[in-house]
Structures are given as structure tokens and as C-alpha cells.
Amino acid sequence: MNTKEFAENAIKNGYDGACCHGWDWIRENITELDYIFETDEYKKQEGYKYKCMPFLETKEMSELEKKAIGTAWYINQERVNKKEKEEKEKKLKEMGYTLLQGIEKELDGKKIDFIIDTTGDLFGGISQKEGVLKWVERESCLWAFEKRHTRRGYPIYQNCKIYIKLI
């Protein structure tokens, strides 16, 4: 199925360019466009919409069809990001790290090797550090402190991504 046929089918199945109507059909059938999404040329564009859309759109498409293809691009990016996240978590588990949720009071005082994942933040990234876990009573959560640091640490809440390995 080419991209124009995909867009036409999306419109027939409820896509109208407003809100999220018809997104379910696109999400269920997104693999029909994998012949484009899986090419090396497409992957070189690093997911940037303005670079990827020329691979997906054709001149014969109406504006609504172009919007449907734009939605398909967005859904594919969700799929790619989810896959990359799962691969990263799998790699860290293979290295012996476990995701810490912050409510394990019994880990107070344990020496750890930890990785902080702040890739979703503005200037985020992945940092690997050594340190110790401390339970902070006033906040009712664990904190990860680097070696030789007693006041500056990293709080471990439910939504933060800190992977630890006990030393």
C-alpha cells in the first residue's frame, strides 16, 4: 500500500484532521508504511518531521491526506521512542542495574553504583556515578548521594529514572 492509499483508507476509517478521530485505525495499520520507515535513508533523517515528510508525501495528495500522513509519522515516532526506551532498559538490566522506585526504606546506607536517566529533560542525558543511598525523613523518600557529597543528592521519586547496582 503506498502512502496515498494509506491516507485515503485512514480518511475512510474516520480520520478527519480534528482531535484524535481516526487515530486508532492509523495506529493499528502503521506497519503498512514500514517499507518507508525501515529504510536507511528515512532513518538518517533522525525523526525530524520536516526531513521525514518528503519521504511520505506526494504531490497528488490533498491537505487532509497530508495531515493523515503527518499523523502516521507522529505515531511511528511514538513507536520508535518506545522501542528505544525498552532497548535502553534491557541493556541496563543486562549490565546488572535495577530501576529504583524510591520507597525502599531498607536500602538506607547501602553503597551503590547508579545511573541517572534525564533524557526527557531539556539538558538531560545519562550520568553514571558512585555513591550511597540515604533515607530522608522529611521527604519520605530515598536520595542518592555521590561519593563525598553529603548535602547535594538526587531524590528518588516514583517518576524518576535511577538505576542502581549494589556494591
Confidence of residue 118 (pLDDT cuts 50, 70, 90): confident
* Mean pLDDT over each residue of the chain, to the nearest integer: 87
Give 71 or 99, the one with higher predicted confidence: 71
Parse the chain into domains and list their residue ranges.
3-93, 98-166
pLDDT at 158 over 70: no
Longest dimension (CA), the chain: 65
pLDDT digits (tens, 9 = 90+) for 11-33: 999 999 888 888 999 999 999 99
pLDDT over 80 (residue 110): yes
Cell reading at 47: 525523526
Q: Which pLDDT belongs to residue 123?
A: 65
Tell me the three state secondary structure of residue 92.
helix
Instruction: Enter the C-alpha cell of residue 148.
Output: 563525598
